[in-house]
Chain A
């Protein structure tokens, strides 16, 4: 079943009704066409609206505006049970008092009228699905007697048993340990291939999304940044955010400029970029884009080398790098080329991305222009969908911006009364956003955004 999202927007009203600026735009004018029978990964940092999008597709949350189509049916106004979806929750939400079998049967027992199945049919269906997700031997156990991975599969079985048109998975792997995660994502891939149900899953783990999705949708602050096949998006990021978000180890970003058709990082010319206008740029270089070369333009002070067998990871520092260290992955054979403390690198052109410093949009240069067009043409020919964000990017909490605008500590009753404590509050509030993970960041991003608006 094809899923089409048209101008989908979700605005959460502010708690304080007087303060209109406090409302949060979780999903902003979301347009997406998801082809039939594919596995789609909605990818983005926490708070980017990917789960909200999923819940709007499921019908558990109503969009503020916009339309949702399954095939040709407009399902925007339909309630969840009438949409024909299967939803797997992040923590599975298996009914703890029911056995595995009863859990799987539950959706079938809710069917009414002509859809109602006989008891035997229900059991057959449940057994089929249980076999598909390989939990048929645990049918009489309670969820609490299963491992995380098994619970996950029960949840998928419960979602699949009513033969949904669309299967939705909310962070399906985040509650599993690392080993199970690998196993289960293969499992999800296999089940999706077997059933050919259009599947949309949400994740903040780019590796997870890249490894099993047919397509990924990279989101930021409720806006689609880029969509496409994982490899394409990785090889051809449309802007700095996408480049930074995809890839482990992450892309190395340098502050630089283009002058006279040459890219400079600091005073060093690192690569030619003919035909590109002079401008301030960010230079993103994938770790695998470095070549040890004595004549190379980019220098790095080597602070360590991680040996990984086939490859080595050279950790170096560069004054213009925005990351604390520059990581470059090179073949282990070339290790001898590092002499002394300083490594010199030349760069692979297709692993170097230039982004305008103002807009953070991609600046194509040299052979990339042709490669990009060729890729677009190929996508068109294959009927695959590809899109990238156009127009100004949503302003987010940049590292720089974060430093500049330290949020004013809220003047609470307590801070007024207990003057001494106030100092402690201030310190705490300043520290947490930087140190906390994605959650805190997301909250701050939302706040920053409100301010800028």
Chain B
């Protein structure tokens, strides 16, 4: 009999899941823990390691993400709501959150909405917001439409497709500051320095004059807001094309050719095929491109720095950064007033969030998956 009872126990022991259960029962009974056998210890160790190991592998990434991504996001929100208000009571601007002051521990920062009020009340805010909106609203639809047309054209030609693909893809792999400087040269009216006599004329004006037009002051001192904006539109649209073409071309190549054969047999015109077949079938890609386009548009900054320089954010000599954008606003305040920079960043985040939600809402109704 003894042997028969012991036998199943001996079999159960090596089963990993079984050992702790038996142990728990043992402790509940109030009895002493039976000393663990070597196998049981080994099993326990393996169980622990099985849980720990994946986390161990993930640890470096998690640490880096926590330090450089998660904490800054949390801290941004925190900083946006903290302000040093002493100067306000004295009639001045709020000094706002300062990381160095915080480190010293001498100052108290109060929870307040003052930073937001300050950002919204700032004279450059409306300019930045307006510029950002204008750039986004104009460039996203235009570049999407252009990218769609180019993608369709690329998809329907065979010779030289690779060459064109490369050409259209170049902006994607080129530094935007470098492109900005080339654009500045292209749209130059006179010599680079306003002090020196006119030495060169940008290629754009050369072309305009070749066709009998008069040269326009695009980017130089005294140029108009709309001339500046036109250059920016041109630059941003062109710069946004490659990614969109890439996505849409990929989508087009996944469309079954038989739909086009069927449409041809059904006598649909090219325009109708484009609007009734191509666009609906590509709509998931178009939605993706539009949404990422809006997000990118609201973050527009480097293009303006590239063409006009960080100092003026507008034609040389202009006051008040007439071409500033929301991201520019964040950058501007980051040195002096981190609280309001955080507030500006949060405002930008909310705008992007709302617009993206709107986009998703619309695409849910219009996109055919």
Contacts and interface: CB of A to CB of B under 8 A. Distances in A.
A218 B136 CA distance: 62
A383 B269 CA distance: 42
A159 to B, nearest CB: 8
A81 B261 contact: no
Contact of A81 (B256, B258, B266, B368): B266
A85 interface: yes
A158 B261 CA distance: 14
Nearest to B258: A93
Interface string B258-270: 1101111111110
Given A89-B258, A93-B258, A106 B276 contact: yes
A60 B265 contact: yes
A87 B267 contact: no
Chain A interface mostly helix, strand, loop or mixed? loop
Measured as residues with beta carbon below 8 angstroms from the partner, the interface class of chain A is 20 to 34
Q: Which of B259, B267, B277, B280 has the most chain A CB within a 10 Å cutoff?
A: B267
Measured as residues with beta carbon below 8 angstroms from the partner, the interface class of chain B is 10 to 19
A158 B258 contact: no
A16 interface: no
Interface string B341-363: 00000000000000000000000
Contact of B280 (A60, A82, A97, A111): A97
B268 A110 contact: yes
B278 to A, nearest CB: 11
B41 interface: no
Given A96-B281, A96-B368, A106 B266 contact: yes
B261 A60 contact: yes
B289 to A, nearest CB: 18
A346 interface: no
Contacts of A86: 265
Interface string A263-291: 00000000000000000000000000000
Contacts of B261: 60, 87, 89, 93
Interface in A40-87: 58-60, 79-82, 85-87
Q: Which of A58, A82, A97, A158 has the most chain B CB within a 10 Å cutoff?
A: A97
B265 A80 contact: yes
A149 interface: no
Nearest to B267: A81
Contacts of A96: 281, 368
Interface of A: 58-60, 79-82, 85-87, 89, 91, 93, 95-98, 106-107, 110-111, 158, 162
Closest 8 CB pairs of A and B: A81-B267, A97-B368, A93-B258, A107-B266, A97-B280, A93-B262, A110-B267, A80-B265
Given A82-B267, A96-B281, 6 more contacts: A79-B264, A87-B265, A97-B281, A107-B266, A110-B269, A110-B272
